[in-house]
Chains A and B, each alone.
Chain A
Amino acid sequence: MTSNDAHGAVRAHLALVPPDRARVASSAKAVSVTLVPVPLLPRIAAGDESAVRECVARYGALVWSLVRRWVPDGHDAEDAAQEIFVDLWRSAARFDGARATEAGWVAMVARRRLIDRLRRSQRGITYEPLPDDYDVIDEQEPDLDQADRVVRARAAVQALPAAQRTMLELSLLHGHTHEEIAEATGTPLGTVKSHIRRGLQRARATLLQATPRLSEEQDG
Protein backbone atom coordinates (compact mmCIF):
# COMPACT_ATOMS: atom_id res chain seq x y z
CA MET A 1 0.00 0.00 0.00
CA THR A 2 1.07 3.47 -0.60
CA SER A 3 0.83 6.88 0.87
CA ASN A 4 0.57 9.83 -1.39
CA ASP A 5 -1.33 12.42 0.52
CA ALA A 6 0.56 15.30 -1.01
CA HIS A 7 -1.13 14.64 -4.32
CA GLY A 8 -4.41 13.67 -2.78
CA ALA A 9 -4.50 10.60 -4.91
CA VAL A 10 -4.39 7.50 -2.86
CA ARG A 11 -4.17 7.08 0.84
CA ALA A 12 -4.12 3.79 2.52
CA HIS A 13 -2.98 2.41 5.78
CA LEU A 14 -1.38 -0.90 6.43
CA ALA A 15 -3.86 -3.64 6.93
CA LEU A 16 -3.61 -5.37 10.24
CA VAL A 17 -7.04 -6.85 10.32
CA PRO A 18 -8.56 -9.76 8.46
CA PRO A 19 -9.79 -8.83 4.99
CA ASP A 20 -13.42 -9.16 5.90
CA ARG A 21 -13.03 -6.34 8.37
CA ALA A 22 -11.55 -4.01 5.84
CA ARG A 23 -13.98 -1.45 4.62
CA VAL A 24 -13.09 -0.38 1.13
CA ALA A 25 -14.81 2.19 -0.99
CA SER A 26 -13.53 2.01 -4.47
CA SER A 27 -14.05 3.31 -7.94
CA ALA A 28 -11.84 3.13 -10.96
CA LYS A 29 -9.49 5.79 -9.70
CA ALA A 30 -10.16 6.26 -6.06
CA VAL A 31 -9.49 4.03 -3.18
CA SER A 32 -9.48 5.06 0.40
CA VAL A 33 -9.00 2.34 2.88
CA THR A 34 -8.73 2.86 6.56
CA LEU A 35 -8.00 -0.28 8.39
CA VAL A 36 -7.54 -0.41 12.05
CA PRO A 37 -5.48 -2.99 13.84
CA VAL A 38 -7.22 -5.71 15.73
CA PRO A 39 -7.67 -4.39 19.26
CA LEU A 40 -5.19 -5.71 21.75
CA LEU A 41 -6.87 -4.69 24.96
CA PRO A 42 -9.45 -7.50 24.90
CA ARG A 43 -6.59 -9.97 24.60
CA ILE A 44 -4.83 -8.33 27.51
CA ALA A 45 -8.02 -8.41 29.55
CA ALA A 46 -8.20 -12.11 28.80
CA GLY A 47 -4.69 -12.57 30.16
CA ASP A 48 -2.82 -12.94 26.87
CA GLU A 49 0.73 -11.91 27.81
CA SER A 50 1.85 -11.84 24.19
CA ALA A 51 -0.43 -8.87 23.58
CA VAL A 52 1.43 -6.74 26.10
CA ARG A 53 4.54 -6.18 24.01
CA GLU A 54 2.43 -5.62 20.92
CA CYS A 55 0.47 -3.01 22.80
CA VAL A 56 3.59 -1.22 24.00
CA ALA A 57 4.97 -1.29 20.47
CA ARG A 58 1.73 -0.05 18.95
CA TYR A 59 0.91 2.72 21.39
CA GLY A 60 4.29 3.56 22.89
CA ALA A 61 4.78 6.48 20.55
CA LEU A 62 1.31 7.87 21.24
CA VAL A 63 1.79 7.65 24.99
CA TRP A 64 5.33 8.97 24.88
CA SER A 65 4.43 11.91 22.69
CA LEU A 66 1.77 12.95 25.18
CA VAL A 67 3.96 12.31 28.19
CA ARG A 68 6.90 14.31 26.86
CA ARG A 69 4.67 17.23 26.07
CA TRP A 70 2.95 17.19 29.44
CA VAL A 71 5.90 16.20 31.64
CA PRO A 72 9.10 18.09 30.94
CA ASP A 73 11.27 16.24 33.43
CA GLY A 74 12.79 13.05 32.03
CA HIS A 75 12.62 11.03 35.25
CA ASP A 76 9.01 12.02 35.85
CA ALA A 77 8.19 11.32 32.23
CA GLU A 78 9.39 7.75 32.51
CA ASP A 79 7.36 7.27 35.68
CA ALA A 80 4.32 8.76 34.00
CA ALA A 81 4.66 6.46 31.01
CA GLN A 82 4.89 3.43 33.27
CA GLU A 83 1.88 4.53 35.27
CA ILE A 84 -0.15 5.05 32.12
CA PHE A 85 0.55 1.57 30.88
CA VAL A 86 -0.26 0.07 34.28
CA ASP A 87 -3.56 1.94 34.11
CA LEU A 88 -4.03 0.60 30.62
CA TRP A 89 -3.53 -3.01 31.66
CA ARG A 90 -5.90 -2.61 34.55
CA SER A 91 -8.59 -0.89 32.52
CA ALA A 92 -8.28 -3.22 29.55
CA ALA A 93 -11.45 -5.11 30.42
CA ARG A 94 -13.43 -1.89 30.29
CA PHE A 95 -12.41 -1.04 26.75
CA ASP A 96 -15.48 -1.12 24.53
CA GLY A 97 -14.77 -1.12 20.83
CA ALA A 98 -18.31 0.01 20.16
CA ARG A 99 -17.67 3.28 21.95
CA ALA A 100 -14.08 4.15 21.12
CA THR A 101 -11.11 3.29 19.02
CA GLU A 102 -8.32 1.63 20.88
CA ALA A 103 -6.02 4.58 20.23
CA GLY A 104 -8.70 6.91 21.54
CA TRP A 105 -9.02 4.79 24.65
CA VAL A 106 -5.27 4.81 25.17
CA ALA A 107 -5.22 8.58 24.81
CA MET A 108 -8.11 8.88 27.25
CA VAL A 109 -6.33 6.74 29.85
CA ALA A 110 -3.12 8.70 29.33
CA ARG A 111 -4.90 12.00 29.77
CA ARG A 112 -6.55 10.85 32.98
CA ARG A 113 -3.21 9.90 34.43
CA LEU A 114 -1.42 13.03 33.25
CA ILE A 115 -4.15 15.28 34.61
CA ASP A 116 -3.96 13.43 37.91
CA ARG A 117 -0.20 13.90 38.06
CA LEU A 118 -0.52 17.59 37.34
CA ARG A 119 -3.12 17.97 40.02
CA ARG A 120 -0.89 16.18 42.47
CA SER A 121 1.95 18.49 41.65
CA GLN A 122 -0.30 21.33 42.77
CA ARG A 123 -0.62 22.85 39.36
CA GLY A 124 -4.06 24.25 38.67
CA ILE A 125 -5.77 22.81 35.64
CA THR A 126 -8.54 24.37 33.67
CA TYR A 127 -10.24 21.66 31.73
CA GLU A 128 -11.74 22.04 28.33
CA PRO A 129 -15.41 22.80 28.83
CA LEU A 130 -17.99 20.14 28.29
CA PRO A 131 -20.27 20.64 25.31
CA ASP A 132 -23.71 21.53 26.56
CA ASP A 133 -25.24 18.24 25.50
CA TYR A 134 -22.27 15.99 26.09
CA ASP A 135 -24.37 13.69 28.18
CA VAL A 136 -26.42 12.48 25.21
CA ILE A 137 -23.42 11.62 23.10
CA ASP A 138 -23.52 7.96 24.03
CA GLU A 139 -26.97 7.55 22.59
CA GLN A 140 -25.83 9.07 19.32
CA GLU A 141 -22.94 6.84 18.54
CA PRO A 142 -24.28 3.38 17.88
CA ASP A 143 -23.41 2.94 14.23
CA LEU A 144 -19.68 3.54 13.96
CA ASP A 145 -17.14 0.84 13.66
CA GLN A 146 -13.46 1.23 14.43
CA ALA A 147 -12.50 2.16 10.90
CA ASP A 148 -15.19 4.79 10.70
CA ARG A 149 -14.12 6.30 13.95
CA VAL A 150 -10.52 6.58 12.84
CA VAL A 151 -11.58 8.21 9.58
CA ARG A 152 -13.98 10.56 11.26
CA ALA A 153 -11.61 11.56 14.04
CA ARG A 154 -8.91 12.44 11.55
CA ALA A 155 -11.38 14.24 9.34
CA ALA A 156 -12.74 16.06 12.34
CA VAL A 157 -9.41 17.56 13.33
CA GLN A 158 -8.45 18.30 9.74
CA ALA A 159 -11.70 20.15 9.16
CA LEU A 160 -11.32 22.44 12.12
CA PRO A 161 -10.59 26.10 11.53
CA ALA A 162 -6.95 26.85 12.21
CA ALA A 163 -7.55 28.73 15.43
CA GLN A 164 -9.74 26.02 16.90
CA ARG A 165 -7.31 23.30 15.91
CA THR A 166 -4.37 25.21 17.38
CA MET A 167 -6.18 25.74 20.67
CA LEU A 168 -7.19 22.09 20.85
CA GLU A 169 -3.65 20.97 20.07
CA LEU A 170 -2.27 23.13 22.84
CA SER A 171 -4.89 21.90 25.26
CA LEU A 172 -5.19 18.20 24.38
CA LEU A 173 -1.72 17.37 23.11
CA HIS A 174 0.41 19.69 25.17
CA GLY A 175 -1.69 19.79 28.32
CA HIS A 176 -1.64 23.56 28.58
CA THR A 177 -4.25 25.26 30.69
CA HIS A 178 -6.58 27.77 29.12
CA GLU A 179 -4.70 30.52 30.87
CA GLU A 180 -1.38 29.29 29.54
CA ILE A 181 -2.79 29.11 26.02
CA ALA A 182 -4.12 32.63 26.32
CA GLU A 183 -0.74 33.89 27.45
CA ALA A 184 1.24 31.94 24.88
CA THR A 185 -0.90 32.97 21.95
CA GLY A 186 -1.78 36.46 23.09
CA THR A 187 -5.45 35.58 22.86
CA PRO A 188 -8.05 36.72 25.36
CA LEU A 189 -8.97 33.95 27.78
CA GLY A 190 -12.62 34.06 26.78
CA THR A 191 -11.67 33.62 23.14
CA VAL A 192 -9.48 30.64 24.00
CA LYS A 193 -12.35 29.00 25.83
CA SER A 194 -14.70 29.77 22.99
CA HIS A 195 -12.36 28.28 20.38
CA ILE A 196 -11.91 25.12 22.40
CA ARG A 197 -15.61 24.72 23.07
CA ARG A 198 -16.56 25.29 19.47
CA GLY A 199 -13.76 23.05 18.26
CA LEU A 200 -14.98 20.22 20.45
CA GLN A 201 -18.57 20.72 19.33
CA ARG A 202 -17.61 20.83 15.68
CA ALA A 203 -15.37 17.79 15.98
CA ARG A 204 -18.07 15.88 17.74
CA ALA A 205 -20.56 16.77 15.04
CA THR A 206 -18.16 15.46 12.41
CA LEU A 207 -17.70 12.25 14.36
CA LEU A 208 -21.44 11.76 14.54
CA GLN A 209 -22.21 12.41 10.90
CA ALA A 210 -24.33 9.60 9.51
CA THR A 211 -22.72 9.49 6.06
CA PRO A 212 -20.47 8.77 4.41
CA ARG A 213 -19.20 5.81 6.38
CA LEU A 214 -15.91 5.94 4.54
CA SER A 215 -13.93 8.82 3.25
CA GLU A 216 -13.19 8.76 -0.40
CA GLU A 217 -10.60 10.76 -2.16
CA GLN A 218 -10.84 11.28 -5.83
CA ASP A 219 -7.73 11.72 -7.80
CA GLY A 220 -9.10 12.92 -11.02
Chain B
Amino acid sequence: MKAPDRATPTGHELLVGELTAALSSSTADPEHGALPAALAAQIAAAGERLLRADASLATARRRPPDASWRLWSGWLAAAAVLGLWVGTPGRRARETSPPAPLAATPQVPARSAGALRDSLLQNDRALLKLAWTSSTDDVSPMIGGDVVWSAAAQRGVMRVVGLAPNDAKRSQYQLWIFDKARDSRYPVDGGVFDIPAGATEVVIPFAARLPVGEAIMFVLTVEAPGGAVVSGRERVVGVAKS
Protein backbone atom coordinates (compact mmCIF):
# COMPACT_ATOMS: atom_id res chain seq x y z
CA MET B 1 0.00 0.00 0.00
CA LYS B 2 1.30 3.39 -0.92
CA ALA B 3 2.11 5.74 1.90
CA PRO B 4 -0.24 8.70 1.51
CA ASP B 5 1.50 11.94 0.65
CA ARG B 6 -0.27 14.74 2.44
CA ALA B 7 0.53 17.22 -0.28
CA THR B 8 -1.07 14.95 -2.83
CA PRO B 9 -4.52 13.74 -1.81
CA THR B 10 -5.14 10.03 -1.77
CA GLY B 11 -7.65 8.46 -4.08
CA HIS B 12 -9.88 8.03 -1.06
CA GLU B 13 -9.76 11.71 -0.21
CA LEU B 14 -10.61 12.62 -3.77
CA LEU B 15 -13.47 10.12 -3.80
CA VAL B 16 -14.86 11.61 -0.62
CA GLY B 17 -14.44 15.09 -2.08
CA GLU B 18 -16.36 14.15 -5.22
CA LEU B 19 -19.16 12.60 -3.21
CA THR B 20 -19.31 15.52 -0.83
CA ALA B 21 -19.63 17.95 -3.73
CA ALA B 22 -22.24 15.78 -5.39
CA LEU B 23 -24.25 15.40 -2.19
CA SER B 24 -24.05 19.11 -1.57
CA SER B 25 -25.31 19.96 -5.04
CA SER B 26 -28.13 17.49 -4.81
CA THR B 27 -29.23 18.42 -1.32
CA ALA B 28 -31.38 21.48 -0.95
CA ASP B 29 -29.92 23.72 1.70
CA PRO B 30 -32.00 26.85 2.09
CA GLU B 31 -30.98 27.13 5.72
CA HIS B 32 -27.33 27.70 5.04
CA GLY B 33 -27.64 29.58 1.77
CA ALA B 34 -24.90 31.38 -0.02
CA LEU B 35 -21.68 32.78 1.29
CA PRO B 36 -22.51 36.18 2.84
CA ALA B 37 -21.60 38.96 0.45
CA ALA B 38 -19.36 40.83 2.86
CA LEU B 39 -17.46 37.68 3.73
CA ALA B 40 -17.14 36.74 0.07
CA ALA B 41 -15.70 40.16 -0.70
CA GLN B 42 -13.26 39.85 2.20
CA ILE B 43 -12.14 36.41 1.09
CA ALA B 44 -11.70 37.52 -2.50
CA ALA B 45 -9.71 40.60 -1.52
CA ALA B 46 -7.44 38.51 0.69
CA GLY B 47 -6.94 36.02 -2.12
CA GLU B 48 -5.99 38.74 -4.55
CA ARG B 49 -3.51 40.15 -2.04
CA LEU B 50 -2.01 36.71 -1.61
CA LEU B 51 -1.56 36.27 -5.35
CA ARG B 52 0.00 39.71 -5.65
CA ALA B 53 2.36 38.89 -2.80
CA ASP B 54 3.36 35.65 -4.46
CA ALA B 55 3.94 37.46 -7.71
CA SER B 56 6.13 40.03 -5.99
CA LEU B 57 8.06 37.31 -4.27
CA ALA B 58 8.52 35.50 -7.55
CA THR B 59 9.80 38.70 -9.10
CA ALA B 60 12.16 39.30 -6.24
CA ARG B 61 13.31 35.73 -6.50
CA ARG B 62 14.50 36.17 -10.04
CA ARG B 63 16.98 38.85 -8.99
CA PRO B 64 19.31 36.88 -6.73
CA PRO B 65 20.24 33.60 -8.43
CA ASP B 66 20.34 31.76 -5.14
CA ALA B 67 19.25 28.16 -5.61
CA SER B 68 18.16 27.74 -2.02
CA TRP B 69 15.84 30.74 -2.27
CA ARG B 70 13.88 29.06 -5.02
CA LEU B 71 12.61 26.62 -2.44
CA TRP B 72 10.77 29.41 -0.72
CA SER B 73 9.13 31.26 -3.51
CA GLY B 74 5.52 31.23 -4.48
CA TRP B 75 3.66 27.99 -4.65
CA LEU B 76 6.82 25.95 -4.42
CA ALA B 77 7.25 27.30 -0.94
CA ALA B 78 3.85 25.96 -0.02
CA ALA B 79 4.72 22.50 -1.20
CA ALA B 80 8.14 22.54 0.39
CA VAL B 81 7.00 23.67 3.79
CA LEU B 82 4.04 21.35 3.70
CA GLY B 83 6.27 18.45 2.89
CA LEU B 84 8.39 19.14 5.93
CA TRP B 85 5.34 19.69 8.04
CA VAL B 86 3.89 16.38 7.01
CA GLY B 87 7.22 14.69 7.41
CA THR B 88 7.23 15.25 11.13
CA PRO B 89 6.69 11.80 12.67
CA GLY B 90 4.08 13.01 15.11
CA ARG B 91 2.09 14.47 12.25
CA ARG B 92 2.23 11.49 9.97
CA ALA B 93 0.14 9.41 12.32
CA ARG B 94 -2.75 11.82 12.00
CA GLU B 95 -5.19 11.34 9.22
CA THR B 96 -5.15 14.80 7.76
CA SER B 97 -3.17 17.96 7.88
CA PRO B 98 -4.01 21.23 6.20
CA PRO B 99 -2.69 21.65 2.71
CA ALA B 100 -1.33 25.11 3.33
CA PRO B 101 2.11 25.90 4.70
CA LEU B 102 0.98 26.68 8.18
CA ALA B 103 4.02 25.99 10.22
CA ALA B 104 7.57 24.95 10.04
CA THR B 105 9.64 22.59 12.09
CA PRO B 106 13.26 22.79 13.06
CA GLN B 107 13.96 20.28 10.30
CA VAL B 108 13.71 23.21 7.89
CA PRO B 109 17.23 23.63 6.59
CA ALA B 110 18.65 26.65 8.33
CA ARG B 111 20.30 27.76 5.12
CA SER B 112 16.96 27.88 3.30
CA ALA B 113 15.15 29.60 6.13
CA GLY B 114 18.05 31.98 6.43
CA ALA B 115 17.96 32.62 2.71
CA LEU B 116 14.29 33.48 2.94
CA ARG B 117 15.01 35.82 5.83
CA ASP B 118 17.82 37.47 3.93
CA SER B 119 15.69 37.83 0.85
CA LEU B 120 12.83 39.40 2.78
CA LEU B 121 15.27 41.78 4.43
CA GLN B 122 16.75 42.64 1.07
CA ASN B 123 13.59 43.03 -0.96
CA ASP B 124 10.89 44.35 1.33
CA ARG B 125 11.59 47.89 2.44
CA ALA B 126 8.47 47.88 4.58
CA LEU B 127 9.59 44.77 6.41
CA LEU B 128 8.77 44.66 10.10
CA LYS B 129 11.62 43.52 12.31
CA LEU B 130 11.03 43.07 16.00
CA ALA B 131 13.19 41.65 18.76
CA TRP B 132 11.96 39.00 21.14
CA THR B 133 11.79 40.17 24.72
CA SER B 134 12.54 38.01 27.71
CA SER B 135 9.74 35.72 28.63
CA THR B 136 8.08 35.23 31.98
CA ASP B 137 8.19 31.46 31.63
CA ASP B 138 10.20 29.44 34.10
CA VAL B 139 11.36 26.90 31.51
CA SER B 140 12.62 29.50 29.05
CA PRO B 141 13.34 32.53 31.21
CA MET B 142 15.46 34.33 28.64
CA ILE B 143 15.07 34.17 24.92
CA GLY B 144 16.61 36.22 22.17
CA GLY B 145 16.44 36.66 18.46
CA ASP B 146 13.94 38.46 16.33
CA VAL B 147 11.05 38.08 13.96
CA VAL B 148 10.82 39.61 10.51
CA TRP B 149 7.45 39.94 8.84
CA SER B 150 6.56 40.96 5.32
CA ALA B 151 3.02 42.27 5.09
CA ALA B 152 3.25 42.17 1.33
CA ALA B 153 4.25 38.54 1.26
CA GLN B 154 2.14 37.60 4.29
CA ARG B 155 5.00 35.56 5.62
CA GLY B 156 7.94 35.96 7.88
CA VAL B 157 10.87 34.30 9.55
CA MET B 158 11.58 34.11 13.24
CA ARG B 159 14.96 33.54 14.78
CA VAL B 160 14.74 32.28 18.31
CA VAL B 161 17.62 31.80 20.69
CA GLY B 162 17.44 30.11 24.05
CA LEU B 163 14.04 28.50 23.82
CA ALA B 164 14.03 25.23 25.75
CA PRO B 165 13.65 21.97 23.79
CA ASN B 166 10.16 20.53 24.06
CA ASP B 167 8.67 17.06 24.07
CA ALA B 168 6.26 17.20 21.15
CA LYS B 169 4.11 14.52 22.74
CA ARG B 170 3.46 16.79 25.69
CA SER B 171 3.51 20.29 24.33
CA GLN B 172 4.43 22.42 21.36
CA TYR B 173 5.29 26.02 20.82
CA GLN B 174 2.79 28.13 18.93
CA LEU B 175 3.21 31.47 17.23
CA TRP B 176 0.48 34.11 17.31
CA ILE B 177 0.29 37.19 15.14
CA PHE B 178 -1.61 40.18 16.48
CA ASP B 179 -3.24 42.24 13.77
CA LYS B 180 -4.05 45.85 14.59
CA ALA B 181 -7.40 45.53 12.89
CA ARG B 182 -8.33 42.32 14.63
CA ASP B 183 -9.79 41.64 18.05
CA SER B 184 -6.78 41.02 20.29
CA ARG B 185 -8.60 38.12 21.88
CA TYR B 186 -8.32 36.28 18.59
CA PRO B 187 -4.83 36.70 17.18
CA VAL B 188 -3.96 34.95 13.96
CA ASP B 189 -2.41 31.53 14.31
CA GLY B 190 1.11 31.36 12.90
CA GLY B 191 1.53 27.64 13.44
CA VAL B 192 3.18 25.28 15.89
CA PHE B 193 6.77 24.17 16.04
CA ASP B 194 9.22 22.18 18.12
CA ILE B 195 12.67 22.91 19.47
CA PRO B 196 14.92 19.85 19.19
CA ALA B 197 17.24 18.81 21.94
CA GLY B 198 20.56 20.56 21.71
CA ALA B 199 19.35 23.43 19.57
CA THR B 200 20.37 26.82 20.79
CA GLU B 201 19.13 28.85 17.87
CA VAL B 202 16.42 28.05 15.36
CA VAL B 203 15.32 29.92 12.27
CA ILE B 204 11.74 29.22 11.31
CA PRO B 205 9.77 30.53 8.35
CA PHE B 206 6.05 30.96 8.87
CA ALA B 207 2.91 32.15 7.15
CA ALA B 208 -0.31 33.48 8.59
CA ARG B 209 -3.41 31.35 8.41
CA LEU B 210 -5.54 34.39 7.85
CA PRO B 211 -4.68 37.63 6.10
CA VAL B 212 -2.87 40.02 8.42
CA GLY B 213 -3.32 43.71 7.70
CA GLU B 214 -0.92 45.34 10.14
CA ALA B 215 1.04 43.09 12.44
CA ILE B 216 1.76 44.80 15.73
CA MET B 217 2.88 41.97 17.97
CA PHE B 218 4.10 38.39 17.81
CA VAL B 219 3.72 36.04 20.76
CA LEU B 220 5.04 32.58 21.43
CA THR B 221 3.05 30.33 23.74
CA VAL B 222 3.27 26.76 24.92
CA GLU B 223 0.23 24.73 23.98
CA ALA B 224 -0.97 21.16 23.93
CA PRO B 225 0.33 19.07 21.01
CA GLY B 226 -1.24 20.28 17.80
CA GLY B 227 -1.70 23.79 19.09
CA ALA B 228 -4.77 25.69 20.18
CA VAL B 229 -7.51 27.51 18.33
CA VAL B 230 -7.64 30.12 21.07
CA SER B 231 -4.71 30.22 23.47
CA GLY B 232 -5.27 30.29 27.19
CA ARG B 233 -1.97 32.18 27.35
CA GLU B 234 -0.96 30.34 30.50
CA ARG B 235 2.62 30.05 29.26
CA VAL B 236 3.92 32.93 27.22
CA VAL B 237 7.56 32.35 26.31
CA GLY B 238 8.19 35.23 23.97
CA VAL B 239 6.80 38.59 22.94
CA ALA B 240 7.96 40.79 20.08
CA LYS B 241 6.09 44.01 19.63
CA SER B 242 6.47 47.33 17.95
Contact = CB atoms under 8 A, between A and B. Distances in A.
B37 to A, nearest CB: 9
A120 B174 CA distance: 13
Nearest to B50: A89
Nearest to A150: B22
A203 B35 contact: no
Contacts of B15: 134, 137, 200, 203-204, 207
A107 B210 contact: no
Given A52-B51, A94-B99, A117-B229, A66 B20 contact: yes
Interface in A100-121: 100-101, 103-113, 115-117, 119-121
Interface residues of A, number: 79
Contact of A81 (B7, B17, B39, B96): B39
Contacts of B13: 108, 111-112
Contacts of A168: 19, 23
A128 B96 CA distance: 13
A91 B7 CA distance: 8
Interface string B20-63: 11111111010111111001101110111011101100100000
B184 to A, nearest CB: 15
Dominant secondary structure at the A interface: helix
Interface residues of B, number: 62
Contact of B55 (A47, A81, A103): A47
5 closest residue pairs by CB, A with B: A108-B17, A137-B11, A60-B35, A104-B18, A153-B22
Interface of A: 44-45, 47-49, 52-53, 55-57, 60-66, 68-69, 78-79, 81-83, 85-87, 89-94, 99-101, 103-113, 115-117, 119-121, 127-128, 130-131, 134-138, 141, 149-150, 153-154, 156-158, 165, 168-169, 172-173, 200, 203-204, 207
